[in-house]
Structure 1
Amino acid sequence: MLDIIALNKTYRTGDRALDDVSLTLPKGQVVGLIGPSGAGKSTLIRCINRLVEPSAGEVRLNGTALTSLSGQGLRQARRRIGMIFQEYALVERLTVMENVLSGRLGYVSFWRSFTRRFPGRDIARAYQLLERVGLSDHVDKRADALSGGQRQRVGIARALEQEPELLLVDEPTASLDPRTSRQIMRLLTEICRENELPAIVNIHDVLLAKQFTDRIIGLRAGKVVFDGRPEELTENVLTEIYGAEDWQAMRNGAMESAEDEADARAQATRLFETT
């Protein structure tokens, strides 16, 4: 379980990125974190694993106060938190398997990691995870030879290789096409439910958040302005989160993307029928 209690973040410029944020995330729940640019979504995720230092408040993961840790204690706690990035954060020249095994770097000695000699248990788990994310045929392929969706699947497997107690996911679909975005979100949510793994997903696509997450938290100017089930996310609530003008622009953009995807499918069907 993750507990966030009165979390605040104020930068040296005086900008307040988080304003008294509190929430509890139980085991197995997938939360979609939505809001306009600058709302504090990425800051919240990074304050949880202390990549950004909170100004005040507390973060507790299964009873451990993450905000009170330092040094080795913080490094050990971070091993329990899997992070999945928008830009994948893979080592391009390494293979898929080597990238996944990098999720164990916090657990093995320097020389094991330097020589890439991981324990057999870690290697066996990596194979299992690659099969689960649909990449068992790409084990020895370099990361720079993969598509965007495949790279994100490697990122998911790498995070799971840590055997985490929490997943933090920062805009996993922002660089992907609509079809691949749905596949990635479906894979993420299925894996979390299979493993009773709680997750916070910072996501820009409201429709994906409504379709795949168990709960949605809306941030605006660092404050929680909505916390509820996806079906409770009405037009009025979305207008409150994004503002009338921005929500209308986002809505129009989503409709155009859906129309473009439908046109592409229709063209592909016509092409198949004529061959």
Structure 2
Amino acid sequence: MLRLDKLTKTYKTGDQALKAVELEIPQGQVVALIGPSGAGKSTLIRCINRLVEPTSGKVWLGDTELTELGAGALRRERRRMGMIFQEYALVERLTVMENVLSGRLGYVGFWRSLTRRFPQKDVDEAFRLLDRVGLVHMADKRADELSGGQRQRVGICRALIQDPALLLVDEPTASLDPKTSRQIMRLICELCAERGLAAIINIHDVALAQMFVARVIGLRAGAVEFDGPPDALTPDVLTTIYGEEDWVATIDKVEDEEDTLDPEAVA
């Protein structure tokens, strides 16, 4: 469903952030993107929706080649790619409901978007999504009154109300405590399963990635060093991706936590 063909990004400084990356992600598959800082993870996500322009290569979403689209066609295709940000990217002075509905701005006309007047079906869907993530009772609260975990759930709702085919998720747990991080990862994976959504989750926490996804892609210096199931992330593989570390302890931690992981819903 998503295909990257020799995707390359070289900055004007000469730094090569991505080196001919080739990937295929089928519909419904959730993938964790791991690697050290500077490996190109965020650049990869942003090249897919062309928030960063690739230097060369192609990006296909279904039958559409995103890398050849003009500005108008690209705006329309971006509606099919929901983005969830590390720092939430909410408008602090707006309510939770208004932030969620902002995900529909690409679908409504200019005047409706200017006055934030949305069709009733969009409002109904926003309430349904907020109920699904446990925030319907906070619909009228301002975004700046929310905790980090609550803000991230609002960001998830805003992405899903676009009715996307693909989720691009950039460090969704970086600012959250361990328990909330688990809840957010579990929620994203459950929602993708419910909707048949593909997702790429850029995440630093290797253990968290191993707990929740069936496929992990490891980047190092802009190139794919690993692509496989989480249980194939051996100490040698992790050393190749990140460098020397006590990876045996990390793997043992994942196995211990998986044994005690409860199926609690997001509260």
Instruction: State the TM-score, normalizing by the size of structure 1.
Output: 0.89
Corresponding position: 1:3 with 2:3: yes
Q: Which ranges of structure 2 fall in alignment gaps of 5 or more residues? A: 257-267
Output aligned runs, 1:155-166, within 5 Å. Answer: 155-166=155-166
Secondary structure of the structure 2 residue equivalent to 1:5: strand
Q: Which amino acid aligns with 1:155?
A: G
Structure 1 moving runs of 4+ over 2 Å: 247-252
1:65-97 deviation line (CA, Å, top 9, x unaligned):
000001110100111100000000000000000
Q: Which amino acid aligns with 2:107?
A: Y
1:160-200 deviation line (CA, Å, top 9, x unaligned):
01000100000000000000000000000000011010000
Output aligned runs, 1:1-275, within 5 Å. Answer: 1-244=1-244, 247-248=245-246
Secondary structure of the structure 2 residue equivalent to 1:94: coil
Check the 8 A contact 2:235/2:247 in 1, yes or no: no
1:3-61 deviation line (CA, Å, top 9, x unaligned):
01110000010000000100100011100000001000000000000000001110000
Q: Which ranges of structure 1 fall in alignment gaps of 5 or more residues? A: 259-275
Aligned length: 253
1:221-269 deviation line (CA, Å, top 9, x unaligned):
000000000111111110110011xx449968x97xx9xxxxxxxxxxx
Counterpart CA distance in 1 for 2:155 and 2:196 is 19
Q: CA deviation at 1:127?
A: 0.6
Q: Which amino acid aligns with 1:115?
A: T
Counterpart CA distance in 2 for 1:3 and 1:46 is 14
Q: Which amino acid aligns with 1:109?
A: G
Counterpart CA distance in 2 for 1:226 and 1:79 is 30
The alignment-based identity, stated in percent, is 68
Structure (1 or 2) with the greater helix fraction: 1
Instruction: State the TM-score, normalizing by the size of structure 2.
Output: 0.92
Q: CA deviation at 1:110?
A: 1.5
Check the 8 A contact 2:6/2:21 in 1, yes or no: yes
Q: Which amino acid aligns with 1:3?
A: R
